[in-house]
Amino acid sequence: MLLPLILAIAVLIKWDSPGPVLFRQNRIGLGNRPFRVWKFRTMTCCENGAVVRQAQRDDPRVTRLGRILRRTSLDELPQLVNVLLGSMSLVGPRPHAVAHDAQFAGSVARYAERHAVRPGITGWAQVRGCRGETPNAASMQRRVDLDLAYIEHWSLALDLLILVLTLREVFRSQAAY
């Protein structure tokens, strides 16, 4: 059902800016095992090294189409492949770039406990306002606290609620950039 939308987005990305259609980045998943996350490319760069600069509001690296894809979360659609491959689930703590894991693991309490479950395309932290840039340890701590609350209170009903709230968030939020 999503194939026509995915193909249309791929064509638009190629038309909008030079570079690959898909962005692949290393992330840490369940049991601290690395995996490669798939997303539509929304920036002029494809950082995947020891230093990864987070997107910021009005970031000049974000393409014109990328702004729309990020705001609507359509850039996340290729992560359905990650779900099918078993490296991600629909709901769970959002995986961060490996560089960000290294940056925050020592300064954010219980950070590594997020890897006790499969990461998700969406999560409790995202629907509770922790979407977008995490410029400091305090903002990451809030996200991690919500991730851990999700893990501790997991249920199918909670997952279904998060999926519904995600749809609401996509249609009303301007937090992603």
DSSP string, 37-84: EEEE--BS----SS--PPP-TT-TTB-HHHHHHHHHTGGGTTHHHHHH
- Domain count for the chain: 1
Which is more confidently placed, 37 or 130?
A: 37
Q: Please indicate, yes or no, if residue 127 is contained in any of the structural domains.
A: yes
Tokens for 56, please give them: 């910021």
Which residues form the domain of 29?
3-172
Q: Is residue 27 part of a domain?
A: yes
Query: Which of the four pLDDT bands, split at 50, 70 and 90, describes residue 81?
Result: very high
Q: Assess if residue 130 is contained within a domain.
A: yes
| Helix runs in the chain, H state only | 3-16, 64-72, 79-85, 98-105, 124-127, 137-152, 156-172
Is 62 inside a domain boundary?
A: yes
Residue 177 lies in a domain: no
Closest Cα partner for 131 from 115, 143, 119? 143
Residue 55 backbone phi and psi in degrees, to 5: -65, 145
Place of tokens 């701590």: 141
Structure tokens that stand for 107 in this block: 């300064």
What is the pTM assigned to this prediction? 0.84
> What pairs with residue 62 in β-bridges?
43
pLDDT digit string, tens, across residues 100-143 = 888 888 889 999 999 999 999 999 999 998 887 777 888 889 99
